[in-house]
Each structure stands twice: as C-alpha cells, then as structure tokens.
Amino acid sequence: MSKILDGKKTSEKILSDLKKETQKLNLKLAVVLVGENPASLLYIEQKKKACEKIGVSFELFKFHQKISTSTLKKKVTEIVKRPDVSGLIIQLPLPEKINTQEILNAVSSKKDVDILSDENLGKFYQGNMRFLPPTVAGIAELLKKYRIEIKGKNIVLIGTGILVGKPLSIWLLNKKATFSAVGSFTKNIMFFTKQADILISGTGKPNLIKGNMVKKGAILIDCGSGKLRGKIIGDMNFKSVSKKASFIAPVSGGVGPMTVAMLLWNLVKMNKK
C-alpha cells in the first residue's frame, strides 16, 4: 500500500504557525458565493473553520444564481473597498453566464489572496510573484514536507483548469521541470498516465484514474472533486491506485486542507506591515 501525503496534519502545523501572527493583526476574509453549489458550500465551510482556528474573522456574501455580471462586479467592488475586509475570494465556479475573469479582476491585487486577478496572475506567470495560487502552494509544501524532488521526474498533469492545471503548468515551467499537460481533447490519456513518475489530476471527474492507468511506484496527487451518489469523490479511484503508488495525496485530507492553509498564509503575509 502507498504512503499517504498527509495534508491534514501538514496544514494544521501551518495554521498553528499562522495563529501566532494573526494575534497581532485584525484580519477578515470575505467570500463571495453565487448560487448554492453543494461543493462550493462545503469548501466555504472548510475556509470558515480554518479562519476560526487562527483568529481571523470571516464573512460570506451570497448572491442569487441569476445575478448579472455587471451587478455582481459592482457588489464585489463595494466589498473590496470595505476597510474591514483584508482579503476576498470569489468562490468558483460562477454560473456560466457570468464573465468570470471580469469578476476576478474586480478584486484588487492587495486583497486577491487566491492570485486569480490578471494583475497577480501576470506577476506569477513571469515568476515575479511572492505569493503562489493556494493549490500550487499547497502541493509545493506537501512535496517539500515529504522530500519529493520534481527535478528529473516525468510529471503529468490531467486537466488544465484555472485553479489546478494552468497555474501548476506555469509553476512547473518556472521550476524547469519536465511535464505533460493532458486536456479533454487529448487522445489516449493512459499513454501519458502510465509514464508518469508524478501524476497530478484536477478534472473533477470521479474515478477517472484507475490502477491500470498508473505505473508502479508513481506519486499520485488528487486535486479533483466531483459528486458521485451524494459524496465528493476524487479523480483517482483510491482503492485501485493506492495498490501501485508509492505516495498518494487523496481527496480527503490531501491537497484540500493544504489549499485552505496556504490561502490563509497568503492572507496573513499580504497584510503584514
């Protein structure tokens, strides 16, 4: 059986260290939610609990599914201007009719703890950003904690979305790593997955990756989250892939809590004088 990359334990240490710093700061994290996406509500609750652990105030701003881009942008701009709001998250995904990037760009760079505005993304793409997108930072910290080197490894990314695949691609490029990015139009995904020393998946398609698709001794990092029979399930079929992997970061207790911890790390560090 593979060894678990324990994001829960690692994130608790990060939050414990942050708590020592938040005592000297008066911080509030604001989250904007449009609609009632069950997965989004779950992630927001995790962020709220993490804030409570380290003494950061939390406020949720909920808007109706039918809100227009222009109205939502106006509301977000109003929230950003509030002096009591230290950092702001736009909970993704937004409804399809909303211009997502326009809303993300309404968050000022100093309060954009998710690193999703064009301004912050531009700095990140150039390698000039002190802060990393939380999921990237969470994975980087897990690899560091378990002394997993990326140099010389064949890395495969499944999914090229805004939260996982795309920012990870940029980070890996900046680290001069060797990797392949596999998208929805890629033919014969198994050809790539079977060659991966490190396989990272973030598609949101439950049980997409099975044991016969990974090579023995591979390091697996599951960032996906889709709903199956009322449960949040990862991209990787844990039961079958864990028999072949050397290390695995599962959906429950892997990258998820690390992402939340690094989000709050960004919040604290951005607001330190």
Output the domain CATH number for residue 223.
3.40.50.720
Residue type at 228 in one-letter notation? L
Do the domain assignments include residue 20?
Answer: no
What would the two tokens of residue 32 be?
């904007």
126 is known as an active-site residue: no
Please state, in angstroms and rounded to a whole number, the distance separating the CA atoms of residues 84 and 66. 28
Looking at the predicted structure, is the pLDDT value of residue 163 above 90? no
Confidence of residue 54 (pLDDT cuts 50, 70, 90): very high
- The count of domains in the chain is 2
Question: For residue 110, which of 135, 134, 81, 136 has the smallest C-alpha distance?
Answer: 81
| Continuous H helices in the chain | 7-22, 38-54, 69-81, 100-104, 118-125, 134-145, 165-174, 189-193, 238-241, 255-270
Question: What share of the chain in percent tops pLDDT 70?
Answer: 100
Looking at the predicted structure, is the pLDDT value of residue 28 above 80? yes
- Residues 194-223 have pLDDT tens digits of 999 999 999 989 899 999 999 999 999 999
pTM summary value: 0.92
Which of 6, 91, 111, 235 is the catalytic position?
91
Query: If you average pLDDT over residues 244-254, what whole number do you get?
Result: 92
Give the residue from 109, 125, 148 where a domain finishes: 109
47 is known as an active-site residue: yes
CATH number at residue 61: 3.40.50.10860
Looking at the predicted structure, is the pLDDT value of residue 15 above 80? yes
Which of 28, 47, 166, 244 is the catalytic position?
47
Same domain, 95 and 168: no
Confidence of residue 6 (pLDDT cuts 50, 70, 90): very high
Which of 6, 112, 114, 222 is the catalytic position?
114
Token pair 């990870």: residue: 168
